[in-house]
Chain A
Amino acid sequence: MAAKDHSMTSVAIDTAPEQVTRTGIRRRLQDALPKIVLAPSFAVTLFFVYGFIIWTGYLSFTNSKTFPSYALTGGRAYQRLWTWTFENDPPSSWYTSITNMGIFGLLYIGCCLALGLLLAILLDQKIRGEGFLRPLYLYPMALSLIVTGVAWKWILDPGLGLEQTFHQMGWTSFHFDWIKNKDFVIYTVVIAGVWQASGFVMAMFLAGLRGIDGEIMKAAQIDGASTWQVYRRIIIPLLRPVFLSALIVLAHMSIKSYDLVVALTSGGPGGSAWLPSNFMYEYTFRRNEMAVGSASAIIMLMAISAIIVPYLYSELREKKS
C-alpha cells in the first residue's frame, strides 16, 4: 500500500517544472530502492535455482554421458529408470535406491516422531533438571551427518563396536552385523539418522506442548480422565500442526540424506544402502550417465515438491487472510 502511494506522488511530481523533476527522479529512485536491494538476491535465486532446475531437466532429455550434450534425444533416461523400477531380480541400483528410500523414509520419520513425542511428553511432566536433560537429546543435531556416520560406523562394526563389547561382557552369542549385510544395512542408516534428528523433533513437540494451556489438562483430570487419556484424546490431537511441521521437515531431510549413507556405509555392500540421492551422485559423477543422473534428480525434486508446495502454499495463504 505504502509503495503505491509513493508512486502516485512521484507521477504527480513528474508533471511539474524542471527543477522539481530532479527531485522527482531522486524520489523515484528512493521508491525503487527496496526493489533494487532485493533484486540481486531474487535474480540469483531465479537463475541458480529455477534456471538450474530447468537446465537439469533439459539434460535429462539428452543422451549426456561424461559431458553434457545439448541435443535433445527424448525421454530415454526416464524410460530406463522406469524399467529399472521393476527390475528386482537381481535388483537394479534404482530399484534398490527407491526401495531403500521407502524403508528409510517410513522408519526414519516414524521413529523420529514417536521418540520425539515420547521424550517431549516425558520432559513435560514438571521434571527436575529439564534444562540439563534437554540438551543431551538435542546435541546430535549440531553434528554433521559425516561425523554421525563415522561415529556409528565404529559402534556398529561387528569387530569393534557393540558386538565386541557384548562379547566381552560375557554375552558371546550376541550377533549384530547389519552394517555388513546387504539386506539390513539400510536399517543401520535409520538408527544413525534417528539418533541425529529425533532430539530436534522432541524440541518441536516440547514447544508445542508448552503452547497448550495447562488448564485443559487440569480440567480434564478433574473430570476423572487419566493422564494417558488426556494425552491421547486432547493433547496429541492439539499438537496436529506440530506433527505436520515435523513431518514436512523430516520428509525433506530424509529425501536429501546423502552424507549419512556415504559416511556410515560407503554405499553399503554392492551399493545396497543407496538412496536416490546417492544414485544421482554416482550416475552423474562416477558412472558417466549424466542424463540418467539428471532424470533421477528431477524425480527427487518432484517427490519433494509434492510435499512442500501444498504446504508452503497453505502457509503463505493463511498469512494473507
Chain B
Amino acid sequence: MKKILSLLLSLTLSIGLLCGCGAHGKALTEEEKNTIVIWHDKEDAVSSALLAELERLVPDVVVQLEYKSNLTEALKMVGNDPNAAPDMYFFAHDKIGVYAEMGILAPITDLIDRETLASSYVGMTLDAATYQGELYQLPIYFETLLFMYNRLYMADDQVPETTEELYAYMEQKTRGGHYGFVEQHSTAYYSAGWIHGFGGYILNENGDVGLHLPETIAAMEYHKKFVEWMPGESEYATVNTLFQEGKAHATIGGPWLVSSARAAGMDLGIAPMPVIDETSLPISPYMGVQGVQVLRYAAENKTEAVTRILEALMDPEVGIALAKVSGCAPAVEACYENEDVTADDVVMAMRETAEHTIPMPNRPEMDIMWTVVADLLVNINMSGQDVTASCEDAQKKAEDLIRKMQ
C-alpha cells in the first residue's frame, strides 16, 4: 500500500513539474481590452500620483501600475509575449533603441498625431524620444545634472562662473578633510558634461564613437587637473555623503539629491553650470527623459484604451503633479504656466540647463559605452595613463565591441 502510494506521489510530482508547458492564446475580451498594465521603476510617490491622475482623467479604463525593479531585463525576456508583457512601461528614454531594435515597441505617432505632439512639448524631449526617425516615447518629465552648492561655505557671490574660477576655488578650499568641489569624476554619465563642453561626444546619433576625437581628448586632459583636488573614490555613495555631510562645498548632482539635502537642513543653492574658459561653452550634461512607451501588441490590440491613456498623459495637470513629487522638470510646455512649477528653483534650473544639455543617446550601443568610458576614465584619472593613447585604445575597444553586438 505504502509502495503504491509513494509511486502515485512521485508520478503526480513528475507530472506537476512538467505542467505549465503548453501553448495558449485567444482573442481578448472587452474587459481585457480595457485593462492597461504599466510597468515602472519609480518611487511610490511618483507612481501613486500618476495613478491618481489617470483615474481622474480616464475613469473607465482600468490601469494597473506594477513596480519592476529589474524592468529592463524583464522586458527583454517577455517583451513579445502578450501574456507576460505589460501594455506600456514608464522608464527613461535611453533604452528605446534596444527595444525598438528588438521590435517590441510601437511608435507613439501611430496613436497620436505628430503635429499635436510637436507643438506642445519642450523641444529636446521629443528629440530624445526619437530613434531612427520614429518617436517611441511620450515624454512626461526630464532631469539633468545641476551645479549645487552649500551656502554655509560657498556664498552666492563666490559661485564660480567659469571652470577656471571653480579650479581656483578648489585649490584654495580643499584641505583638512574638506573639498571645494566633488563629483563622480570617473563615471561616464558625469564626465559627459565636460566632453560635450569641449564639443566632443561619447556616441552620436549615428552610432559613431567619439572617444578619439581631439575635442574629447582635450576635455579628458583638462578635466584631469580637477580630479587631483577631489577624493580618489568617485562612486555615488562617497561623493554624495561628502556633500550631504557638509564636507564638500559644491557638487554636480541630480535632482534626486535635493530633497535629502534639504531634509538634512542644508541651505542648498543651485547655479548654472560653469562655463569652460577654453570653449566658452558651459559644462553640458546628459538629459534623461522619463516617459511612457507602448508595446506593439497593446498598440495593435488595445488601441482605444492605450490612445486614451496617452491623451490623458498629455494633459499639463499630469506633468505638474508628477514634477511636484519627482522634483524633475515637466516635458509639456504648458506646465510652465503653472505658478507652483515656476516657483520651484530646481525645476526652473533644469529647464534652463536643458538649453545646453544633450539627450542621452538612445542607441543600443550605449550599453557598451558606459563600461568602456568608465574604464577609460579610471585609466586616465586614477591610474595616470597617457590620455591620448588611452582614448585611442578605448575607441578601438568600443568599436570592436559594437561590431560584436551584431
A and B associate:
no
Binding site for A on B (CB under 8 A): none
Residues of A within 8 A of B (CB): none
